[in-house]
Amino acid sequence: MHINSGTKQIIFFVLEEWKLILFLTLIFSLYMYYTSTFEFFEQKGIKFMKPYPVVGNLGSRMMAKKSFHEFQYEIYNFFKGNPYGGIFEGRRPCLYVLDPELIKAITIRDFEHFVDRNTLNSNEPRYLSQSLLNLKGSEWKGVRSTLTPAFSSARLKNMLPLIDVCTEQMVQFLKQYDKQDVEMKDTMGHFTLEVIGACAFGIKCDALTNENANFIKIAEKFNYMSKSKRMMIFFFLIFAPKMLRYFNISFMNEESTRELVTILKAAKKERRSGDYKRNDFLQLLIDGANKENIDADGTKSGTLLDDDTIDAQSLLFLIAGYETSSTLLSFAIHMLATKPDIQEKLRAHVTELTEGKEMSYELLSQMSYLEGFLLETLRLFPPVARVDRVCTKKYTLPGTPVEINVGDVVAIPVYGIHTDPDIYPQPEEFRPERFIGEEKKNRPAHLFLAFGTGPRNCIGLRFAMYSAKLAMVSLLKNFKFTTCPKTKDPIKFDKRGFLLKADLWVRIESL
């Protein structure tokens, strides 16, 4: 068979440059794979952010150029005026919902289609994977219903003496810093850890009597993540999300969480070996250990609360409560320092209502301005900037042709909604009155998302607000907070993590 010269040249080139050809073929194949989903929203007629190969729309986050809250704010304002819009997390499409009625439909009215949260789905220990945040379907429902009574009004009332002791310890702890500049995030972490330890587990943490207590040192490190680990998580999420199931990877610090679980296991063992029962969170978990899980079809599928599931809820309550409550209190104190007129008004409000009276659950509920102050703090500084749900039953967005398939992720940009002038007029202003009286009543409740909304909202929100109110009463009665040279106003958010974090320095003066 005769081969012409042109064909010979091609064959010789292939034989000599096969490595280059293989490399180029591989690059082309990867490019095609990582851009193959980029027509997802265009085909559905949905506005979307222009993605880039491999990273999608996450480039600025991967390079730590902006905080997660700033990223959500950017997304919200890009799509503002549209009921929804799309971004790409790597090659995975993520539908953002902005319209208030669609948000209500997804989180409340049609919740059965969006029962699950978006999780990492890695091969992490069961004391992490079995937490209420990660559980799905009927298992989540069973555990949630078991835990709900732990946060009833009656149980919160019984916690008052325990929290009172912690607030007294907090006052003494802060007095050692009289007329000094203090970073409040870590300082308030001492208080919230002591409260949770006492109220939920019957554990004395010594967080307010010994700054170097082992418990506080372990808890402070729970969300520390090295740069290499952060890059590894991004790598798996973008390049090989399905491979995560084979690796023990978590957003939490492995050593810290393991030590915390050891402490909680010891508390559980001691509780089981004794005859005395406490009226707290851990006791509720232990008492519920014999309940059986009932699947959606009515069949029994084993014990609802096995030991790992108990440990998972204990760890979640400890860590989530410690982190979010300390965030709320530290940002609240920062607002007091930077807005002295509000500080004086709030102090007068608290003094007038509590003068000569014994603190009670009912008395706290009368402090409308204090509640408004805390909710306004959470509006401007929500610990979590986005709420997301995973579709569990095929769904069509009401009033639209947009179909959402099982497994698709739907996100709600909390920080964007909280700073939308059409929902919260003059959003940059700090006004506790937004959450008092008619102004609060006239705004849909599901557009305040600091605790999420619907059946899958934060289970501990009442406990968080209750303990925060008690803390603020003591702080306002005993201290004056002012700015100092290290105070940053406006606040600069940390650009590395997913939870809200900032350096919050103020000056403390005893009254």
Q: Are 143 and 456 a contacting pair, CB within 8 Å?
A: no
- pTM value is 0.91
Q: Are 109 and 450 a contacting pair, CB within 8 Å?
A: no
Residue 9 pLDDT level (bands cut at 50, 70, 90): low
% of the chain beyond a pLDDT of 90: 61
Torsion of CA 465, 468, 474, 475, to 10 degrees: -130
Average pLDDT over residues 61-78: 94
Reply yes or no on whether the pLDDT at 317 is more than 60: yes
94 is in an annotated binding site: no
Please tell me the distance from the alpha carbon of residue 452 to that of residue 10, in angstroms, as a whole number: 62
In order of start, what are the domains of the chain with their CATH numbers?
40-510 (1.10.630.10)
Instruction: Give the count of beta carbons closer than 10 Å to the beta carbon of residue 92.
Output: 15
Q: What is the mean pLDDT of the chain?
A: 89
Q: What is the DSSP string of 288-322?
A: GGGPEEE-TTS-EEEESS-HHHHHHHHHHHHHHHH
pLDDT digits (tens, 9 = 90+) for 97-130: 999 999 999 999 999 999 999 988 888 888 888 9
Please tell me the distance from the alpha carbon of residue 305 to that of residue 50, in angstroms, as a whole number: 45
Reply yes or no on whether the pLDDT at 1 is more than 60: no
Neighbouring residues of 407: CB distance < 8 A, sequence distance ≥ 6: 390, 391
**Mean pLDDT: which of 4-18, 33-47, 120-134, 203-217 is highest?**
33-47
Residue in the structure block whose two tokens are 């930077």: 338
Identify the CA nearest to 185 among candidates 294, 332, 393: 332
% of the chain beyond a pLDDT of 70: 93
Minimum mean pLDDT range among 21-30, 330-339, 426-435, 487-496: 21-30
Q: Are 427 and 419 a contacting pair, CB within 8 Å?
A: yes
- State both tokens at 121: 């789905």
- State both tokens at 335: 């607002």
- The confidence score (pLDDT) of residue 277 equals 76
- The confidence score (pLDDT) of residue 7 equals 66
Please tell me the distance from the alpha carbon of residue 283 to that of residue 451, in angstroms, as a whole number: 25
Average pLDDT over residues 331-348: 98
pLDDT digits (tens, 9 = 90+) for 251-286: 787 888 888 888 888 888 888 887 777 778 888 888
Q: Are 101 and 122 a contacting pair, CB within 8 Å?
A: no
